[in-house]
């Protein structure tokens, strides 16, 4: 690939039922670009979890995906409440999701751990009351 | 085996999509972020969750089909999403446990012949 391919999405924080749509679109695009299916799977998992977190915990945000010849970068940015204790939030099973969110199947506290597990790098920048930006990369081998 | 080969034994009814796809492996569970990492391509995913987010996860993981246990059917939004994303969804009156046991039995007898 000579030039980077870039995708941008605005993630609606009100709309629970179509949450995950950006990830579904990215998966399709990566397939068209001929990316390996295991790498697509990893991007899909990481981006879906991040997208859902922005909807549930931060009333929406933006998602940018940059495909270069050696890696896929996913940048998720929101203006939500921020994460007070990142190392706690990263623990499997930790969740602040309320009951009505849990009844939809969210709140296992596995989203952030999944994002870490399925990517090659993950950086969380967060400020209380200002928002959170998560940058993840998946290497293209 | 094809999903449709399971129909009679699992008392399945098709809610959406084409059950003629071959499946390979099963995951049972209701938390979406667990399913997201555990459901592999071509798996059957057994759950009682019936909202549109289930369809997004099934589509992203490339599940062969979602089987809704205990007679659960799709909510209208989810039914729409399943049609649009071409996700195969079936329902059965059996519990998740019974579904797993029966699928296992069928596979054993299938492997035996
Ligand atoms: N973008 C965000 N803004 C603010 N808080 C967040 C954000 N993402 C995650 N969190 C906090 O971190 C916690 C853990 O997130 P994680 O994704 O691991 O679990 P969850 O979203 O609660 O449940 P699951 O992802 O399993 O459905 C959340 O409950 C929430 O408190
Ligand atoms: Mg989450």
Question: What is the interface pTM, i.e. ipTM, of the complex?
Answer: 0.92
Least CB–CB distance from A20: residue in B37, B56, B62:
B56
Q: Which residue has the tokens 């995950």?
A: A20
The DSSP symbol for B5 reads G
Structural domains for chain A = 5-139 (3.30.565.10)
Least CB–CB distance from A20: residue in B31, B53, B62:
B53
State how far the alpha carbon of A125 is from the alpha carbons of A64, A84, B58, B79, in Å.
Answer: 16, 11, 30, 38
Per-residue pLDDT at A2: 65
Beta strands in chain A (DSSP E): 5-12, 60-67, 71-78, 121-127, 131-139
CB distance A126 to ligand 1 below 6 Å: no
Per-residue pLDDT at B110: 81
Structural domains for chain B = 3-111 (3.40.1390.20)
Q: Quickly state the pLDDT bin for B113 (edges 50, 70, 90).
A: low
State how far the alpha carbon of B102 is from the alpha carbons of A132, B2, B48, B63, in Å.
Answer: 46, 15, 17, 19
Distance from residue A129's CA to the centre of ligand 1 (Å):
15
Give the 3-state secondary structure of residue A64.
strand
Mean pLDDT of B92-109: 95
Distance from residue A133's CA to the centre of ligand 2 (Å):
14
Distance from residue A48's CA to the centre of ligand 2 (Å):
9
**Mutation target among B40, B49, B58, B60 for the A interface, most CBs of A within 10 A:** B60
What residues have a C-beta under 5 A from ligand 2, the ion? Answer: A 53, 111
Q: How close B45 comes to chain A (CA, Å)?
A: 14
**CB count, 10 Å around CB of B84?**
12
Rounded CA-CA distance A138/B83 in Å is: 31
What residue's CA is closest to ligand 1, atom 12?
A89
Per-residue pLDDT at A141: 82
Q: What is the pLDDT of residues B26-78, one digit of tens each?
A: 999 999 999 999 999 999 999 999 999 999 999 999 999 999 999 999 999 99
Per-residue pLDDT at A92: 97
Instruction: From A45, A92, A55, select the one nearest B62 (Cα to Cα).
Output: A45
Q: Is the pLDDT of residue B24 over 60?
A: yes
Tens digit of pLDDT per residue, chain A (141 long)? 568 999 999 999 988 888 899 999 999 999 999 999 999 999 999 999 999 999 999 999 999 999 999 999 999 999 999 999 999 999 999 999 999 999 999 999 999 999 999 999 999 999 999 999 999 999 998
Per-residue pLDDT at A17: 81
Q: Tell me the chain A residues in contact with residue B83 when contact means C-beta distances shorter than 8 Å.
A: none
Within 8 A by CB and 6+ apart from A103, the residues are: none
Per-residue pLDDT at A26: 97
């Amino acid at each position: 690939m000579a030039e980077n391919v870039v995708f941008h999405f605005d993630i609606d924080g009100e709309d629970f039922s179509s949450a995950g749509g950006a990830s579904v679109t990215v998966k399709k695009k990566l397939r068209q670009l001929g990316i390996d299916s295991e790498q697509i799977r990893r991007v899909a998992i990481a981006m879906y979890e991040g997208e859902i977190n922005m909807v549930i915990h931060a009333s929406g945000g933006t998602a940018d995906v940059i495909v270069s010849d050696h890696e896929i970068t996913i940048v998720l940015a929101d203006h939500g409440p921020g994460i007070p204790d990142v190392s706690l939030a990263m623990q499997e099973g930790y969740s602040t999701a309320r009951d009505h969110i849990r009844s939809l199947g969210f709140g296992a506290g596995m989203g952030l751990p999944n994002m870490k597990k399925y990517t090659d790098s993950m950086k969380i920048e967060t400020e209380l009351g200002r928002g959170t930006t998560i940058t993840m990369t998946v290497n293209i081998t | 085996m094809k999903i449709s080969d399971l129909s009679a034994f699992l008392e399945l009814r098709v809610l959406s999509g084409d059950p003629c796809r071959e499946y390979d492996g099963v995951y049972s569970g209701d938390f979406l972020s667990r399913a997201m990492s555990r459901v592999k391509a071509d798996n059957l995913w057994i759950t009682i969750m019936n909202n549109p987010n289930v369809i997004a996860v099934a589509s992203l993981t490339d599940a062969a089909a979602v089987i809704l246990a205990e007679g659960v059917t799709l909510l209208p939004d989810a039914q729409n999403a399943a049609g649009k994303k071409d996700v195969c969804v079936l329902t059965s009156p059996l519990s998740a446990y019974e579904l797993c046991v029966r699928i296992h039995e069928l596979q054993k007898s299938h492997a035996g012949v």
